[in-house]
Amino acid sequence: RTYNQIISVLASAGRMEDLDSVLSEMVDRGCSVDLEAAADLVVSYAKSGMVDRAQGILSELRKRELTLPARIYNSVFKALDRMHRFQEVFEMVEELIEQENFVPEDSTADLLVRIYCKGFAVDKGAWFLGRLVNAGVRVSAKTFVKLAESLCKAGKEDIAVKLFDRMGANGAPEDIHTYHCVVDAITSFGRIDHATAVLEAMEQSDCCMPDTVTYTRMIDGFCRRGELDKALVIYSRMKDSESSPDVVTFGCLINGFCKALKFDEAIIILKASLDAGLEPDEITYSSIIDPLCNLELWDIALVVFELARQRNCPGSIYLYSRLMNCLCKAGKIEEAVLLLEDMSHGRKHSGQALGGEVCKPTLVIYNNVIDAFCQENRIEEALQMAKAMEEQGIGADVVTYTSFLRALCNVGMVDEACKLLEMMATSGSSFPDVIACNALVGAFCSAARVEEACNLLRAMLEHGIEPDDLTYTQVIGALCASKRMEAAMLLFEYMKVANHTPKLTTYKELMLGLYVNGSLQDA
């Protein structure tokens, strides 16, 4: 007994060398290791990576035909799992079942199912789990779902459904959470038809009738696959049951119809949601408005937007921003301005802005409208918008200035563009981006103000704005036109050093310059 106690202490401390010494002494004295000490030995050897020795002791214990504690099996299985020796686990389990009618405890069962999944032996895992169910072993929902997911990944979702049926038939534990996990596992891999079988099993169950979450997950699965008719069938079954659709249910249907560009049906579902006393959220309205904007169906988008405003949809700043941005891109700036005024001053007939301060226009929204005006060279209107922005206490940023800079260059107001650039530099604003700089470089070059173009190029480099091919090509062309061929050639070489590959237009500018300046052979 003393030796066995010493072995247990040494095993718990992981003192393997001392263990070997004590075991050797026990053999010499004819002492045997009891079950508890042997279990400690197996666990200690397995944890230390000496799994072969652990298996040897386990084999000897099995010969005694004793009921072994779960921790012995678990330690060996875990050690083999860590070493990816899955096949040995499978063979050991099959041998245990065949020779000893092995029925593992709950913790061992869960561990083995995970190893079957990890070792890509889902068929064997299903066979093993089936035996557990028949033996009345309690299988946790987590364990079953893990196997169900692995079966679905392997395209064997039908086995997962059959296994679930066997669990129910044999009195294995079932609850609504288990059903939900199974539905999620199957639908997540696009096997929604098989999930329908689970739903039918629930509807026929006495203890686990499907609830709103169950139906909604099924509806979402069909909508994601574009099978809207089947989604509506589940929706109809849901309404006939004791479960009622919620905001998430309607949101799934609306999103599904919008993705299929079936906006009439989406709006019908939206109205059904409102009739049921359920207020859609910003995401639901956005799922309708976004595709309508993408298809340039502005009239319908505005109708839905107006409905969102009437319902005081929370967080509708996004709806304003999204719709106004799309209107600006489509050149419908006046409509965008009306929405902006609505945000700034409130609806004319109510005197209140939707959502109060939450829906005040932001710098990004103003910049979108200003840029839209600038794109059409409507500078005066853009300036009025900038003034309105300032009155709202919102200061201009580099994006605002860049829009004006490009517009001024486009209409030939180069001096005004230069003043704006100087103002940006002195006010501490960021330097304009390469697109805006290219507009000003191009304006300088067109006006034969080559030195200013070169100065701007240097300023770009000093401010960390990397010139692109267009920047270099414009300045090279201007240098050639002013007969400064040596400077043009130097810039051409610098362009290549800066890892910019000259384009055909760059070579054309150089060749034309060389030809005009009498260097036909060089051209």
pLDDT tens figures, 266-287: 999 999 999 999 988 888 888 8
The domain ranges of the chain are: 1-83
Q: What is the CA radius of gyration of the chain?
A: 37
CA angle, 232 then 238 then 241, to 5°: 150
Q: Strand (E) positions, 146-247?
A: none
Report whether pLDDT(237) > 80.
yes
3-class SS of residue 235: helix
Structure tokens at 354: 């939707």
What would the pLDDT profile of 397-455 be if each residue is shown by its tens digit? 888 988 999 899 888 898 998 888 888 777 666 778 888 889 899 999 988 999 999 99
- Give me the pLDDT at residue 357, please: 47
Q: Which amino acid is at 267?
A: I
Structure tokens at 115: 């190893």
- Give me the pLDDT at residue 268, please: 92
At 470, the pLDDT band (50, 70, 90 cuts) reads very high
- Give me the pLDDT at residue 65, please: 76
- Give me the pLDDT at residue 350, please: 35
- Give me the pLDDT at residue 1, please: 60
Residues 36, 4 contacting (CB under 8 angstroms): yes
At 22, the pLDDT band (50, 70, 90 cuts) reads confident
For 24-71, give the secondary structure using H, E and C: HHHHHHCCCCCHHHHHHHHHHHHHCCCHHHHHHHHHHHHHCCCCCCHH
**DSSP summary character for residue 138:** P
CA angle, 441 then 494 then 409, to 5°: 5
- Token pair 């200003």: residue: 370
Average pLDDT score over residue span 145-152: 80
Angstrom distance (rounded) from CA 295 to CA 304: 15
Length of the chain in terms of residues written: 523
- Give me the pLDDT at residue 101, please: 67
Classify each residue of 47-86 as buried b or exposed e, where b means 16 or more C-beta atoms within 10 Å of its C-beta. beeebebbbebbeebbeeeeebeebbbbbbbbbbbeeeeb
- Give me the pLDDT at residue 43, please: 86
Angstrom distance (rounded) from CA 63 to CA 66: 8
Percent of the chain with pLDDT strictly greater than 70? 90
Percent of the chain with pLDDT strictly greater than 90? 29
Structure tokens at 521: 């052979």
At 355, the pLDDT band (50, 70, 90 cuts) reads very low
Higher pLDDT, residue 498 or 346: 498
380: Cβ–Cβ under 8 A, 6 or more apart, which residues? none
Taking all residues of the chain, what is their mean pLDDT, rounded to a whole number? 83
What would the pLDDT profile of 98-136 be if each residue is shown by its tens digit? 876 677 877 888 889 889 999 989 999 988 888 887 777
- Give me the pLDDT at residue 165, please: 67
Angstrom distance (rounded) from CA 472 to CA 488: 10
Classify each residue of 196-228 as buried b or exposed e, where b means 16 or more C-beta atoms within 10 Å of its C-beta. bbbbebbeeeeebebbbbbbbbbbbbbbbeebb
What would the pLDDT profile of 288-333 be if each residue is shown by its tens digit? 888 888 888 878 888 888 888 787 775 567 778 888 888 888 888 9
